Amino acid sequence: MKVFLIGANGQVGRHIVYLLQASNEHSIKAMVRNEQQAEAFKQSGVDAVVANLESSVDDLAKATEGCDAVIFSAGSGSKTGPDKTLLVDLDGAVKSMEAAEKVGANRYVMVSAIQAHNRESWMDSPIKPYMVAKHYADRMLASSSLNYTIVRPGALLNEPGTGKVQLAENLQRGAIPREDVAKTVVAVLNEENTFRRSFDIISGDTAIEEALKNF
Written as one string, the DSSP assignment of 101-137 is HHHT--EEEEE--TTTT-GGGGTT-TTHHHHHHHHHH
Helix axes 178-188, 11-22, angle to 10 degrees: 50
Contact 116, 153 (CB under 8 A): no
CA distance 98 to 177: 30
**pLDDT attached to residue 99:** 98
Contact 203, 155 (CB under 8 A): no
Pairing of β 164-168 and β 206-207: antiparallel
| Residues comprising the chain, all counted | 215
Within 47-163, strands assigned E span 47-50, 69-72, 107-111, 147-153, 155-157
| Catalytic-role residue among 18, 108, 130, 136 | 130
**DSSP-based three-state secondary structure for 133:** helix
**DSSP-based three-state secondary structure for 70:** strand
**pLDDT attached to residue 81:** 82
**pLDDT attached to residue 80:** 77
CA distance 51 to 119: 32
Q: What sign has the CA pseudo-torsion 135, 161, 11, 108?
A: negative
Q: Which pTM does this prediction carry?
A: 0.96
- pLDDT tens series, the chain, 215 aa: 999 999 999 999 999 999 999 999 999 999 999 999 999 999 999 999 999 999 999 999 999 999 999 999 998 877 778 889 999 999 999 999 999 999 999 999 999 999 999 999 999 999 999 999 999 999 999 999 999 999 999 999 999 999 999 999 999 889 999 999 999 999 999 999 999 999 999 999 999 999 999 99
Beta-carbon count within 10 A of 43 CB: 9
152, β-bridge pairs: 200
**pLDDT attached to residue 82:** 86
- Sort 68 into a burial class: Cβ within 10 Å, 0-12 / 13-18 / 19+: middle
Q: Is residue 130 among the annotated active site residues?
A: yes
CA distance 62 to 66: 9
Contact 175, 128 (CB under 8 A): no
CA distance 182 to 141: 20
